[in-house]
Amino acid sequence: MNRRPNIVSLVYQSLVGLYAPNQNSPLRFPIRRRRRRHHTAPSTGRPTTPIPPMRLPQCITGQHMHQRCRRRLRLRLRPLYFLRRGIHSNSVLTPADAATDATLLGRLTRLLLLHRFSAAARLLSSAVPLTPALLHAALSRVRLDPDAALHLFRLAPSRPSLLAHAQLLHILARTRRSADARALLTSLLSAQPPAPPLFPHLVKVYKDFTFSAASFDLLLRALANAGHLDGALQVFDEMTKLGCRPTVRSCNSMLNKLTEAGDLGTVMSVFEQMQRAGTLPDEFTVAIMAKAYCRDRGVAHAVDFVEEMKKMGVKVNLVAYHAVMNGYCEVGRTKDARRVFESLPSRGLSPNVVTYTLLVKGYCKEDKVEEAEGIIREIMKNKQIAVDEVAYGAVINGYCQRGRMEDAARLQNEMTNVGLQVNLLVYNTVINGYCKLGRMVEAHEVLHDMENAGVRPDPYSYNNLVDGYCRKGLMSNAFEICDTMVRNGFAVTIVTYNALLKGFFLLGSIDDALKLWFLMLKRGIAPDEISCSTMIDGFFKAGKTQKALNLWKETFARGLAKNTTTFNMVINGLCNNGRLHEAEELLGCMKEWRCSPDIITYRTIVSGYCKTADMDRANRFIHEMKSLGFTPSIELFNSLITGLFIAKQCGKVNDILFEMSKRGLSPNTVTYGALIAGWCKEGDLQKAYNLYLEMARKGLTPNLFICSSLVSWFYRKGKVDEANMVLQKLVKSDMIPDISATRLETGKIANVLDTVAGGNHHSAKIMWNIVIFGLCKLARIEDAKNLFADLKSKGFVADTFTYSSLIHGCSTSGFLDVAFGLRDEMLSVGLTPNIVTYNSLIYGLCKSGELSRAVNLFKKLQSKGISPNAITYNTLIDKYCKDGHITEAFKLKQRMTEDGVKPTVFTYSILIHGLCTQGYMEEAIKLLDQMIENNVDPNYVTYWTLIQGYIRCGNMKEISKLYDEMHIRGLLPAYVAGDVKQVSPAEHNQNGKTCHVKMYG
């Protein structure tokens, strides 16, 4: 007969079933087992689970027994009830409930301490989730077992609390499980959203566990390495209050990150506090502090610090000396860096490739690229060091920065030959170098080379090409590169759009720039500061001031134009348009909006007032600038010099120069340009020319502005010949913008000339003439002709100088028909050719061997109302002498004298050369005496021609006499080498051979 089990037995059965361990588990609870009796379920007839009989007190019988069982059941069922709800419902235990469940906590910790981690996981999955309170309590119980703590921590269903992190960090730090501790902190510090500070919880656990102080140091290092410098500094400060000393390794991490961030004042404070805390510096500390001293207080302090550390017995490694060498190189003292380099062996240190590379970069920074390449040769001689891509890349970059692409290509090929891989950085450097020079064909070839070498171009490669094409105004090519970029899987970024916008503005295509701007916005690419600045600057330069201001207000409202650079651009635009009052108001707004003005802000406003000759307001802003701690720059003084000349206060110019000298500032090319232009306008050519000679002595090259100032003065005085001589002497290839480009870009040159001319059409015209003259001088006749045709189509009105320059260029290059065609065109537009024009034609005919035509043209000059000058006669005399017609040459000299044209040193030198060539040495000496009697001083070439004649005759006695005369007159080659080309029909090269040169301006 089946019995119905009573309720107490059922409860007991449930408790045993829930709490008893798995039968396969070695863990056993002390439950007494009796012999089982099988029962049959009433409904199924199958045996039921045997119910162990319970021993009940004899006093409990019947109804009384049931009442007591119910009371006990209430006490026992509460945790059972909640456990079952946690399994079968969505409800979970509250933290308080879990914390107070000592039985679950006990079972969990026992499983963890026995390393039954899978059993612990099953327990939690079948019972309750691992709540924060349960996790904290369990971590506290297993704090001496790091493996148990780690596995428990990983069982948490979500990110554990900061308290749990603090507990685990202490546990891991105590057992020196540094790798696990670092992983824990890295995960916490990289979490999103960022977690609150861990340090307070770490302090709390430290007091509870009474270990481990190393956890604070681990946190300090992790915060420093992650760049959380504020948190690291807080931990560093609080550690000492707790009596914990940071390790030197953690201090080094923090010092290094602070140095990289540029917070050098804090670096010094931390170093001092570190020493007070008893943390001794090591060799890495010395290296970091040496770098910080170089950046903060100068390389001299860094050297003193390193020496002080050596005296204290701290080891100084190679990295510290690298910091000192780099400090010297950064301030242009590579010679001192070299001295440190050479002292390394005596300090027991051997230089490595990084040491050599520092010297390479230093020399490149000082424009001494040849010396930098010499360092590579030194590395290659050192068998213990292998030159690497970085050293080669630095020299290649140095050549590229200076436009010496052939040398860059040579070194690139050398890299390959020595077995080094040309990397992406080197390829990009070379591409950038070609693009800056406008040599886009070569830049494209480098791109193909890198693809063939298996080096995949990156966005920087493509953006360089886009920028290069935009600089040249080839916008269609730039857009083709954009398409290629997209096809190769790279997105067109704001950098690309910035280059395209700049390209359109360079071409003056404002509408296209606006279309691109709106397209960029439509595609969801947000403009940055550069985009806004490019648009604003473009509108200002195009004279669309209101559009520029409207765009600035719009971008300002978006929060994009709240930086000093953009404010300076707007202020500059207002100043250039004469709206100085608005510029001044904007300066006030900058202060209100907490956007600090800088030296450029004040310099721009001062320059604006100088251009309007308002020197009082200019000086007021200079005083305000000085009161804010800004030091006047050379650019500011240049503006003041220009302003004083405009205001007719040239008497104060010397005061400005004196103040410049007192501040240690030397005049630059712009300073001399302002002075020369000013004195030319004042009519004092002597001062202007003396200043030119002064700048030449200092090695400064005159620019287009200086040349045009001098030429303008001669034009105003009607001294065309003198203007021509100045041009011959001053105009060089580097005066012409974009001269190195294969195809001359008129638009680019126009932008440069307009900027230099400052809106003055007369100055701009002179500069165009100088450019045409320069191109002819460089034998780039086709470029000169094309430029002339382009200018004429845009309304340029050529003058006599323009035509004379072109005629001279064509005649010199042998294009006589073109030259005479230009002469006829001059006449057709109402311009009268002058003697300079006809001298060019006569020279061209003589050079082409058409002496008879040259003589016929010479004879027609008088009928044209033009008097020949010394250059005319000298050209024909030189041709007669070269053809061996000495008699005709002397006849022409006689006519020259009769016509009132005084023979020059050129005339006599040409005739003496002709006589010596024919072997008439006695006549040549007589002619020398004649020129001296006529007060014409012979020059070096005159004597050298005679010496060469006597050498052919073998008359050493006469040679000795001529050398004595040369010595008396001071006519040594060293004194006159620079003047030979300017004054003589012949010059002597380094091998002593005579070379024919031009003899006229």
Task: Count CB neighbours of 38 within 10 A.
Answer: 9
pLDDT, average across residues 806-811? 88
Please give the torsion angle defined by the CA atoms of residues 47, 51, 57 and 63, in that order, rounded to the nearest 10 degrees: -60
**pLDDT confidence band for 759 (50 / 70 / 90):** low
Domain carrying residue 940: 890-1001
Q: Name the residue with tokens 């720039």.
A: 513
- Assess if residue 826 is contained within a domain: no
Q: How confident is the model at residue 352 (pLDDT cuts 50, 70, 90)?
A: very high
For 251-266, the three-class secondary structure string (H helix, E strand, C coil) is: HHHHHHHHHHHCCHHH
Residue 592 CB partners (closer than 8 Å, separation 6+): none
At CA 398, angle to CA 392 and CA 401, rounded to 5?
140
Cα–Cα distances in angstroms (integers) from residue 526 to residues 497, 498, 520, 522, in the given order: 10, 11, 8, 9
Please state the rounded mean pLDDT for residues 741-756.
51
Confidence of residue 359 (pLDDT cuts 50, 70, 90): very high
Q: Indicate whether 116 belongs to any domain.
A: no
Weakest-pLDDT range from 375-389, 623-637, 685-699, 733-747: 733-747
In a domain? residue 846:
no
Q: Give the closest residue to 569 by CA, choosing from 601, 607, 521.
A: 601
In the prediction, which pLDDT does 302 show?
Answer: 94
- Whether residue 83 has pLDDT greater than 90: no
pLDDT per position as a tens digit, 506-537 = 888 889 999 999 999 899 998 888 888 899 88
Residue 21: predicted pLDDT: 39
pLDDT tens for each residue of 850-886: 999 999 999 999 888 889 999 999 999 999 999 999 9
Share of the chain above pLDDT 90, in %: 49
Q: For the ranges 30-34, 572-576, 662-666, 936-940, which has the lowest average pLDDT?
A: 30-34
How far is 631 from 627, CA to CA, in rounded Å?
10
Cα distances (angstroms) measured from residue 802 to each of 126, 408, 753, 754, 760: 99, 38, 16, 18, 18
Phi, psi at 452, each rounded to 5°: -65, -30
pLDDT digits (tens, 9 = 90+) for 641-658: 999 999 999 889 999 999
Domain count of the fold of the chain:
2
Q: Would you say residue 665 lies in a domain? A: no
Q: pLDDT at position 991, please?
A: 37
Computed over every residue of the chain, the mean pLDDT equals 82
Q: Is residue 179 part of a domain?
A: no
Residue 178 counted as domain residue: no
Instruction: Give the model's confidence band at 718: pLDDT under 50 very low, under 70 low, under 90 confident, else very high.
Output: low
Q: How confident is the model at residue 797 (pLDDT cuts 50, 70, 90)?
A: confident
pLDDT of 422 higher than 90: yes
Q: Is 245 left (phi over 0), alpha (psi -120 to 50) or beta?
A: beta
User: Above 90 in pLDDT, residue 466?
Assistant: yes
CB atoms within 10 A of CB 641: 25
pLDDT at residue 716, rounded to an integer: 62
- Residue 875 · residue 846 · CB < 8 Å: yes
CB 537 within 8 Å of CB 782: no
Given a cut of 90, is residue 434 above it in pLDDT? yes
Does residue 53 carry a pLDDT above 50?
no
Contact criterion met (CB below 8 Å) for 305 and 289: yes
Residue 60's pLDDT is what? 40
pLDDT for the residue 81: 30
Residue with tokens 């064909």: 441
pLDDT single digits (tens) 308-344: 999 999 999 999 999 999 999 999 999 999 999 999 9
> Does residue 31 lie within any of the structural domains?
yes
Whether the upstream peptide bond of residue 193 has omega within 30° of 0, thus cis, is yes
In this structure, are residues 749 and 771 in contact, taking their beta carbons and an 8 Å threshold? Answer: yes
- Given 49, 66, 91, which residue is the final one in a domain? 91
pLDDT of amino acid 994: 34
Residue 84's pLDDT is what?
30
Q: Which of 91, 126, 150 is the last residue of a domain?
A: 91
Look at 214-228, 706-720, 726-740, 955-969 and tell me which has the smallest mean pLDDT: 726-740
- The pLDDT of residue 258 is 95
CB 811 within 8 A of CB 840: yes
Residue 174 has pLDDT above 80, yes or no: yes
Contact 781, 815 (CB under 8 A): yes
Asked if 618 and 626 count as a contact pair (C-beta separation under 8 A), the reply is no
Q: Rounded mean pLDDT of 177-190? A: 94
The kind and range of the H/E element at 47 are: strand 47-48
Cut 0.85: pTM above it = no
Cis peptide before 212 (omega within 30 of 0): yes
Query: Would you say residue 774 has pLDDT above 90?
Result: no
pLDDT, residue 809, reads 86
Region 212-241: what's the mean pLDDT?
A: 93
CATH number at residue 916: 1.25.40.10
Contact 288, 259 (CB under 8 A): yes
Specify if 930 maps to a domain.
Answer: yes
Domain boundary among the residues 48, 64, 91 is at 91
Centroid of chain to Cα 847: 50
Please state the φ and ψ torsions of residue 995, each to the nearest 5 degrees: -125, 135
497, 520 contact by CB (below 8 A) = yes
**Residue 723: per-residue pLDDT:** 60
576: its two tokens: 């250039």
Helix axis angle for 851-860 and 835-847, nearest 10°, is: 160
> What pLDDT digit, counting tens, does each position of 96-142 carry?
444 447 889 999 999 999 999 999 999 988 877 889 999 999 999 99
- Residue 721 has a pLDDT of 59
Residue 390 has pLDDT above 50, yes or no: yes
Q: Provide the pLDDT for residue 273.
A: 92
CA distance 467 to 431: 11
Torsion of CA 189, 191, 197, 198, to 10 degrees: -70
